[in-house]
Structure 1
Amino acid sequence: MTTTTTTTAPDPSPSPSSGRARRKSPGAVGTAAAARIRSLQYGYREDIPGPVSASARIRRGAGKAAGAVPDLWGMTGLELLDDAALAGLDVDRADEALHISVTLWALHQQGHREANMHLTGPGLGAAVRRLMPEGEIDEPIRKRFVRAGTAQTLDSLAQRLRELVLLLRADAVPLDYGLLADQLYRWQKRAERGEIQRAWGRSFQIGLARRADPAATD
């Protein structure tokens, strides 16, 4: 039996006085994802053997369904949810959302010992916008983003998010994986999917406006 060591890590989130607008508190799934990732991220950056090894294992699950990688059971955050939280959740949806977000983070963080690739704040659209030159639209990247936003199955969404995360990793652009986990949980319920797609689109357009206006604040 393999024992996973949990490392206590400082929360990299901005403080309320940092000038950022405070978003609503994350749900149970986002909270679990962020807690799991912060522990791994701190250990990875400090070159602690346990988290480094765990991150490498978790990374191999990026783009795959939760049930397709039994080796990762108990490693992606579902184990952090207590009975009260689980009672209010669709466990299958929570498992998939946690698996996708934590494995994508592990892929994103690979090779980055100098910076956190999970940070509270930047949504998917805003992060993708940072890949583009200021004042311009990179059409191939925009099309990849649109493909992710219009995915019709969880498998295709996971694959398309993986493609975007590889681009984010190359440019060291961080992403809020707690927020992404909450959104992936809700995305799986068809009645809420449109709202998540609109949120991704809005964050891209707001990111575009802010990059065009140096005086704009978060």
Structure 2
Amino acid sequence: MTMTDTPRQSPERQVGTIVATRVQELYAGATSEHPGFSARARANLAQLRQLDTADPVSDVRAWNLTLSSIPGELQGAADTPNAVERAVHSALVLYAIHAQSAKVPAHKPKKRVGQAVREVAITQKPDDPTDAAIIARFHTCAKASSYNQLVRHLRGLITLLRSSDIALDYGLLAQDLYRAQQPDGMRIVRLRWGRSFHNISPQQITSAESENANVR
């Protein structure tokens, strides 16, 4: 590798970058003082909320709203969506749900799902956050046996975060959604979520990310 070469991001990290960039664009547009930009972004968010969270091909509007963000080299070649396409699509739909009538920005860099859930849990049960009402929904998400189940349960969890004005990092969520589709991926996602819920250091939280980083 020469001095001018830059390491190529794994597909998982590219998914995170794509989604983080897109949600920041949507937020900037929706809060813009330019009426045209604001109206377009708000219309896009409204349409995103109407899409099937798990399926990027059931509605033609997804072509422009979610799939257009994905570069050609990450697009699938088979007749079904690949892990990148599903993860980007699901994360953007979940963001739109989170952003609906939100009092604070729905996206906050470096805040994983576990940390966001803990913030809600502390408000619900300060003496023992692990016994808070939101924990049951969190556990249901973590125990999902299929991708469709995972995103369906996440949709409900996201509405609870929105109700409590708690944001999360949608780039990291997209990476988790990508990882969940890989062999043994949910085990890694559960590890990430558990560590972030219990406030283990960021270095430990990211330790699982290097495992099988380039799988597709």
TM-score interval for Structure 1 and Structure 2 normalised by the shorter chain: 0.7 to 0.9
Q: Identical aligned pairs, as a percentage?
A: 28
Which of residues 120, 128, 131 is equivalent to 1:136? 128
C-alpha distance in structure 1 between counterparts of 2:119 and 2:56, whole Å: 29
C-alpha distance in structure 2 between counterparts of 1:128 and 1:54, whole Å: 27
Q: Structure 2: which 5+ residue stretches go unaligned?
A: 1-11, 202-216
Which of residues 44, 47, 51 is equivalent to 1:57? 47
Shift of 1:41: 1.1
For residue 32 of structure 2, what is the aligned residue in structure 1?
Answer: 46
For residue 3 of structure 2, what is the aligned residue in structure 1?
Answer: none
Using the size of structure 2 for normalisation, the TM-score is 0.76
Change (3 A) 1:127 1:62: farther
For residue 108 of structure 1, what is the aligned residue in structure 2?
Answer: 98
Which of residues 50, 69, 75 is equivalent to 1:80? 69
The correspondence of residues 1-218 of structure 1 with structure 2, limited to 5 A, is 27-46=13-32, 48-61=38-51, 63-76=53-66, 78-86=67-75, 92-112=82-102, 114-132=103-121, 133=123, 134-137=126-129, 138-206=131-199
C-alpha distance in structure 1 between counterparts of 2:179 and 2:32, whole Å: 33
Shift of 1:201: 1.1
Question: Which amino acid in the other structure matches residue 171 of structure 1?
Answer: S
Shift of 1:197: 1.1
Q: Structure 1: which 5+ residue stretches go unaligned?
A: 1-25, 210-218
| 1:161-215 Cα shifts (integer Å, max 9, x gaps) | 01110001111100100001011111101233211111011111118x9xxxxxx
Q: Secondary structure at the match of 2:111?
A: coil
The count of corresponding residues between Structure 1 and Structure 2 is 182
Shift of 1:141: 1.1
- State whether residues 123 and 176 of structure 1, in contact with CA within 8 Å, keep that contact through their aligned partners in structure 2: yes
C-alpha distance in structure 1 between counterparts of 2:128 and 2:60, whole Å: 43
C-alpha distance in structure 2 between counterparts of 1:35 and 1:62, whole Å: 22
Shift of 1:139: 3.5
C-alpha distance in structure 1 between counterparts of 2:62 and 2:81, whole Å: 16
- State whether residues 128 and 204 of structure 1, in contact with CA within 8 Å, keep that contact through their aligned partners in structure 2: yes
State which drifts further: 78-87 or 120-129: 78-87
Change (3 A) 1:110 1:191: same
Shift of 1:83: 3.7
C-alpha distance in structure 1 between counterparts of 2:109 and 2:52, whole Å: 21
